[in-house]
A and B are shown apart, each in its own frame.
Chain A
Amino acid sequence: MIRVVLPAHLRALARVNGEVELDVAGQVTQRSVLDALEGRYPVLRGTIRDYGNGRRRAFVRFFACERDLSHEQPDAPLPEAVATGAEPYLIVGAMAGG
């Protein structure tokens, strides 16, 4: 079970409270987690990754295990603690004004 923490705006959009728990088939990577997340909540398509090129939107960051994974390869394995559910995968809106 993968635990995902969404930023408040995306929790509201997906109508979820607290963490999202996902079953991810195969290797646990950023791409497979985000694919599973968007499969469960289609309304999130286009809000985290750009529709056109599939890349992380500029003001979205990915953290886990106290590390910034935003610039890791999307198909690189996530840390074991995320794959086992011991630690959550954090999707974060960049700390910019607004």
Chain B
Amino acid sequence: MSGVRVLVGTRKGAFVLSSDGRREHWDVSGPHFAGWEIYHVKGSPAEPDRLFASQSNGWFGQVIQRSDDGGATWEPVGNKFSYEGEPGTHQWYDGTPHPWEFARVWHLEPSLDDPDTVYAGVEDAGLFRSADGGQSWQELSALRCHPSAPSWQPGAGGMCLHTIILDPRAPGRMFAAISAAGAFRSDDAGETWRPVNRGLRSEGIPDADAEVGHCVHRLAMHPARPDVLYMQKHWDVMRSDDSGESWHEISGNLPTDFGFPIDVHAHDPDTVYVVPIKSDSEHFPPDGKLRVYRSRTGGDDWEALTRGLPQENCYVNVLRDAMAVDSLDSCGVYFGTTGGQVYASADAGDTWEPIVRDLPAVLSVEVQTLP
């Protein structure tokens, strides 16, 4: 029988939650790497028992861990992330130049077809690639060397490259998103990049519709329709129908269009999920009610999903990498909160249950659907 493995990164370790295809009973293993911040854990689509984890803390820096048995055992691999050449400067929060400094790996994106190849999005914003299972890392420096890079500035969480999407239909096409620079696309496997932010408007930057400078929180794509991208921006939920060439707003009837994660139903490219958050200074759900919003129309028309979620006195946040879907027949949707809950829905969001309630603050959630 098929099964599901949920990979959870938290402020104080990683957890692996496993269930059979019914998704009713869960085994919880962890904490792995107890006491460390685990920004992200993700499995290889080509070899699902191969997992990569980003482990870091302020004292001892960055470690990358790899498992080849689905998370039962782990081995540290390479942790040397050196920017190519003289990295130069970006803007600091006050607009002054600030040297590019490596802080941590926010996101690991394994290749779709090669278990030894994995990409890492880092803070300060840069993209690295390993072709040897994480043992060594080389920067794809064209992104950081884009002419606009000296004008990039950090979002509140740091100047992070947090989203990497590999296009399954167009080899070499990939998307990256940076807070607060925006979305970028490469059509040649990272050799060259260009901003793809036309249609975005952001208050708080001198030119509201500038080519770069937008605080993109998350991008999502359905693999069967890769030309369509969804975006949760600092404010505004956006959609592109032409691989990022242009964007239009699809916030529609959302109670607030601020938020962090966005994801797409595994079997319906028009069904999209977001978690509205009150504002950029009040990082919690409006009215103390934790509601996932689902659109079945590719945006604009949204319905609140509340069954099984706390509808009073709930003031958690859901971070940008903390939502994922499985690909079982009835699509499962999962998200983790800064309050340490991981909620799961085995019916595409109609009803929810917590898998775990009391983990450290959840930074990331990924899901593997196992044969």
A47 and B61 within 8 A (CB): yes
Known A13-B63, A46-B62, A51-B82; contact A98-B57, beta-carbon cutoff 8 A: yes
Residues of B within 8 A of A93 (CB): 59-60
Q: List 13 A-B contacts (CB under 8 A).
A: A9-B36, A9-B59, A12-B34, A13-B60, A45-B80, A46-B80, A51-B80, A57-B59, A57-B60, A59-B58, A93-B59, A98-B58, A98-B59
B361 to A: closest C-beta gap in Å: 12
Residues of A within 8 A of B57 (CB): 9, 98
Task: Kindly state the separation between the CA atoms of A96 and B174 in the bound complex, as whole angstroms.
Answer: 39
Contacting B61 at CB < 8 Å: which of A8, A57, A96, A98?
A: A57
Interface string of B349-366 (1 = CB under 8 A from A): 000000000000000000
Task: Kindly state the separation between the CA atoms of A9 and B61 in the bound complex, as whole angstroms.
Answer: 11
A46 and B61 within 8 A (CB): yes
B121 to A: closest C-beta gap in Å: 18
B35 and A9 within 8 A (CB): yes
Task: Kindly state the separation between the CA atoms of A13 and B292 in the bound complex, as whole angstroms.
Answer: 38
B67 to A: closest C-beta gap in Å: 15
Q: Which of A41-98 contact B (CB under 8 A)?
A: 43, 45-48, 50-52, 57, 59-60, 93-94, 96, 98
- Would you call the interface of chain A mostly helix, strand, loop, or mixed? loop
Residues of B within 8 A of A10 (CB): 60
A-B CB pair tally, cutoff 8 Å: 47
- Chain A interface size, as a band, is 20 to 34
Q: Which of B45-84 contact A (CB under 8 A)?
A: 57-63, 76, 79-82
Query: Known contacts A9-B35, A46-B80, A47-B63; can you find 15 more A-B pairs with CB under 8 A?
Result: A7-B60, A8-B35, A9-B36, A9-B59, A12-B34, A45-B79, A46-B61, A46-B79, A50-B61, A51-B81, A57-B61, A60-B59, A60-B60, A98-B57, A98-B58
Task: Please give me the 7 A-B residue pairs with the lowest Cβ-Cβ distance, nearest first.
Answer: A47-B60, A59-B59, A93-B59, A43-B76, A46-B79, A51-B80, A47-B61
- Would you call the interface of chain B mostly helix, strand, loop, or mixed? loop
B contacts, CB < 8 Å to A:
34-36, 57-63, 76, 79-82, 102
Task: Kindly state the separation between the CA atoms of A43 and B33 in the bound complex, as whole angstroms.
Answer: 14
A4 to B: closest C-beta gap in Å: 15
Contacting B63 at CB < 8 Å: which of A43, A59, A94, A98?
A: A43
Residues of A within 8 A of B61 (CB): 46-47, 50, 57
A96 and B58 within 8 A (CB): yes
Task: Kindly state the separation between the CA atoms of A42 and B214 in the bound complex, as whole angstroms.
Answer: 40
Residues of B within 8 A of A8 (CB): 35
Residues of B within 8 A of A7 (CB): 59-60
B82 and A9 within 8 A (CB): no
Task: Kindly state the separation between the CA atoms of A48 and B34 in the bound complex, as whole angstroms.
Answer: 19
Across the interface, name the chain B residue whose C-beta is closest to A8. B35
Residues of A within 8 A of B79 (CB): 45-47
Task: Kindly state the separation between the CA atoms of A59 and B61 in the bound complex, as whole angstroms.
Answer: 10
Residues of B within 8 A of A98 (CB): 57-59
B37 to A: closest C-beta gap in Å: 9
Residues of B within 8 A of A48 (CB): 60
A94 and B59 within 8 A (CB): yes
Task: Kindly state the separation between the CA atoms of A4 and B256 in the bound complex, as whole angstroms.
Answer: 54
Residues of A within 8 A of B102 (CB): 52
Across the interface, name the chain A residue whose C-beta is closest to B101. A52
Across the interface, name the chain B residue whose C-beta is closest to A51. B80
Task: Kindly state the separation between the CA atoms of A26 and B145 in the bound complex, as whole angstroms.
Answer: 43
B80 to A: closest C-beta gap in Å: 5
Task: Kindly state the separation between the CA atoms of A94 and B59 in the bound complex, as whole angstroms.
Answer: 7
Task: Kindly state the separation between the CA atoms of A5 and B102 in the bound complex, as whole angstroms.
Answer: 27
Across the interface, name the chain B residue whose C-beta is closest to A59. B59
Task: Kindly state the separation between the CA atoms of A45 and B80 in the bound complex, as whole angstroms.
Answer: 8
Task: Kindly state the separation between the CA atoms of A49 and B371 in the bound complex, as whole angstroms.
Answer: 43
Task: Kindly state the separation between the CA atoms of A48 and B60 in the bound complex, as whole angstroms.
Answer: 6
Residues of A within 8 A of B82 (CB): 51-52
Across the interface, name the chain B residue whose C-beta is closest to A97. B58
Task: Kindly state the separation between the CA atoms of A98 and B76 in the bound complex, as whole angstroms.
Answer: 23
